Amino acid sequence: MSEREQYLRQVERLADSHVLHGSESLCKLLRYLAHHVLEHPGTPLKEYQIATEEFGRPADFDPAVDSMVRVQAGRLRTKLAEYYAGEGAEDPVRIELPKGSYALQFHKRDGAHRANGHHTATPHEHLPTGETPAPRGWIAAVAVLSLLLAVSLLALYLSRKDTAASDLTTRSSSSAAFQTFWKPFLIGPEEPWVVFSNAAFVGRPETGMRYYNSARDPEGSVWDHYTGVGEVLAVHNLDQVFGGLRRNLRVKRGSLFSLDDAKNTDLIFVGSPSENLTLLEIPGTHEFIFEREKEGLRKGDLAIVNIHPQDGEQKAYLASAYDAPLTEDYAVVALIPGLNPARSEMIIAGTTTFGTQGAVEYVCREQSVQELLLRLSVSDTGEIKPFEALLHVKIAKGVPVETSLVSLRKIAAP
């Protein structure tokens, strides 16, 4: 078998591995990078080229605005390391994607060859002239001392962490209500993603910023570096609850979200579709939806529209008017099937950042979660089904002070 065939076989072995299973975009990127380095050795590969040739981005793609290629390359780099640390540890060929480069490197297990023809250094090759390797006994002693120090620091860290989180862990771990409510996000094969909103702005902090307007602003002027204070505190609250439930969370801003995430992972969206734009690309709510008012005194303001209002309910719910103190907001909490029906999706969003914060606090508070389960007719040991809930959030001086349930819809299975 030729060297090229060995390398391509290793690429397919990786694509079929458990680590990359279900991640179609990463497998495509891996194959693309491999074929490029094998067919055009020594030819640099640019971010623009990958975006337009592999991911179908338009000719006006701007890497400074769209970081998709860098994000996908970073994910692939992490997956490669994970693969060779586990199931691929004994593979005859190792594939690497060095940081800051899109040129894959192939290493035979003996370290003697690479696809680009560069020599792989021996362990002592980089020692300065005249310097000799340290005696093995000294190296062993340093290694043992380093290990002992690391273990001591780890023990100290864990003891402090356990002490600081003991109350929360005890409450959350013993709470059947939390276990039931968050169960769809505790049993998946991978840790769930929390995807928080980060609106598109134009301008600069020092000169003034405003929301991006596609009708008058060039795409290259967008800044997506910012999110609301409510979203920040919301992620913190979710992390505390999931820590008590002994489940880690992964966090990502909305502009970096990909459809692969929706297909393969349970998702918790924090923030409304007006700022968490990825919610527009996947299944969303059907009973309580976010829309701009089209007429009247509040024209242009974001509202939560009640699609099937029941007795005593309004057709639309809005936060305090922009020219008055913000004292109330409305929010939605919804559990719905994901793009992949085997995965779950939760949307927690207000029309303002403080509404979002209040809604997250609601589902992170044991008493209100128990109330919600009771209204859904779910026992503490039962199974929660899809639902959409409308909440009212009272706000004082930029802080949610009270959140109450306004309306609730049970969603029938598709």
| Overall pTM > 0.85 | no
Among the residue ranges 119-133, 154-168, 234-248, 376-390, the one predicted with the least confidence is 119-133
What are the pLDDT digits (tens) for 367-390? 999 999 999 998 767 889 999 999
β-strands 328-337, 387-396: how paired? Answer: antiparallel
Residues 6+ apart with CB under 8 A from 276: 195, 196, 197, 198, 254, 269, 270, 349
pLDDT at residue number 363: 95
What are the pLDDT digits (tens) for 8-66? 999 999 988 888 876 778 888 999 999 999 988 888 888 889 988 888 888 888 877 67
Instruction: Return the closest-CA partner of residue 379 out of 215, 126, 179, 197.
Output: 179
If pLDDT is split at 50, 70 and 90, which confidence band does 223 have?
Answer: low
What are the pLDDT digits (tens) for 249-272? 999 887 777 777 777 789 999 987
pLDDT at residue number 278: 60
What residue ranges do the domains of the chain occupy?
3-108, 141-167, 175-410
If you average pLDDT over residues 170-186, what whole number do you get?
76
Are 106 and 95 in contact, with CB atoms under 8 Å apart? yes
Q: Which residue has the higher pLDDT, 228 or 87?
A: 87
The two structure tokens encoding residue 293: 């008012």
Q: Which residue has the higher pLDDT, 281 or 308?
A: 308
Length of the chain as a residue count: 414
Mean pLDDT, the chain, as a whole number? 79
What are the pLDDT digits (tens) for 101-134? 899 999 987 644 444 444 333 333 333 333 334 3
If you average pLDDT over residues 76-85, what whole number do you get?
89
pLDDT at residue number 275: 66
Q: Which residue has the higher pLDDT, 172 or 58?
A: 58
Of all residues in the chain, the percent with pLDDT exceeding 70 is: 77
